[in-house]
Amino acid sequence: MAIEMCYEKDVDPSIIQGMKVAVIGYGSQGHAHALNLMDSGCDVRVGLREGSKSWAVAEEAGLKVMTMEDAAEEADLIMILVPDEIQAKVYKESIEAHVKPGNTLAFGHGFNVHFGYIVPPEGVNVIMCAPKGPGHIVRRQYTEGSGVPDLICVHTDATGNAWDIAKSYAWGVGGARTGIMLGTFAQETEEDLFGEQAVLCGGAVELVKAGFDTLVNYGGYPAELAYFEVYHELKMIVDLMYEKGISFMNYSISNTAEYGEYYAGPKVINEQSREAMKLILDRIKNGEFAKEFMADCENDHKWLLEQRAACDDLEIEKTGKKIRSMFTTVKK
Ligand code: NAD
Ligand code: MG
Ligand code: MG
């Protein structure tokens, strides 16, 4: 099943440039969307809570800032970029009353719409523009002249041109410079959660932790050496894969390393790990993960905060902090 792509030539920038856009929230994604859209010649206003720390920061960056209610009232397109777990509450309290027929509601991730925590009114376009990268990279690449690819989706096409609006919005945040992928809310929500859980965040971090533990606690090697081996060098290997593929990375490493990759990799990520991945995907698809996450959020993030504190306390993190402070070539 190949994914449909589009590029700058397929997009009409005048659509988004002709709309009043509200970006709700000024965090990781919010600041990137708002600033990139502004630099793309769009009429952007940032919607924030009164007293928000981001208010002055966004104004200093040259953006119009107002309350979420005023921003939603003025706008033709409302992009909701507050944390997933509070979106339903923020939407109910500050946005819903200001969404009018013909408006477009937009999201950076499908969580709330796909799992039914937000049910948009009829007559309103519901679209998504999800950059496939962290917000600070979305902004950095835009200022450098490139752009993080976006996944765009349409949940409801009320005006008949929701796809063109989504493409034009993605152009505004810089996604068309590299490529825009067309998908569905279900695909984006499920794949994104799976990717961050099994591979990008959950999988990668646990792999690094397990390698460090084995070297230090089982093998008795110095923590600094172990840190360099399984943590610091990971970025260089991933950079090679990202730039030119696994084969090029294999070409760059020694034959010894490549032999070890084929021999040891499937022993670490084995049938049991693949079964665990299937279970993780099943729990995402049937909504169990969403329910569990939302329950912890209602409980003031008790479990999440315990895990966060435990992570800060790991020997590998302490070693990393010490080493990075001695390393002038690692960017702050
Ligand atoms: P964030 O946590 O960085 O920022 C949230 C912002 O929302 C805050 O800076 C603040 O301006 C505002 N906010 C916080 N609490 C609020 C409240 N109670 N009421 C009103 N406003 C409040 O969020 P984020 O990581 O940018 O995520 C936003 C959306 O983008 C989510 O749907 C997320 O899944 C999606 N997304 C994020 C990334 C990423 O790089 N972080 C990548 C892809 C998609
Ligand atoms: Mg993601
Ligand atoms: Mg995500």
Q: What is the pLDDT of residue 329?
A: 65
Q: What is the pLDDT of residue 328?
A: 66
Among protein residues, the one whose CA lies closest to atom 25 of ligand 1: 28
| pLDDT per residue rounded down to tens, the chain (332 residues) | 788 999 999 999 999 999 999 999 999 999 999 999 999 999 999 999 999 999 999 999 999 999 999 999 999 999 999 999 999 999 999 999 999 999 999 999 999 999 999 999 999 999 999 999 999 999 999 999 999 999 999 999 999 999 999 999 999 999 999 999 999 999 999 999 999 999 999 999 999 999 999 999 999 999 999 999 999 999 999 999 999 999 999 999 999 999 999 999 999 999 999 999 999 999 999 999 999 999 999 999 999 999 999 999 999 999 999 998 887 666 55
Calpha distance 310→299 (Å, rounded): 18
**CB of 203 closer than 8 Å to CB of 174:** no
**CB of 105 closer than 8 Å to CB of 22:** no
CA of 30 to the centre of ligand 1 (A): 7
Q: What is the pLDDT of residue 327?
A: 77
Looking at the CA of residue 135, tell me the nearest atom of ligand 1: 40
DSSP line for 104-167: EEEESSSHHHHTTS--PPTT-EEEEEEESS-HHHHHHHHHTT----EEEEEEE-SSS-HHHHHH
Catalytic sites, residue numbers: 109
State the ligand closest to the CA atom of 28.
Answer: 1
Calpha distance 11→180 (Å, rounded): 10
CA of 100 to the centre of ligand 2 (A): 30
CA of 26 to the centre of ligand 1 (A): 7
Q: What tokens does 291 get?
A: 């329910």
Q: What is the pLDDT of residue 326?
A: 83
Q: What is the pLDDT of residue 331?
A: 57
Q: What is the pLDDT of residue 1?
A: 76
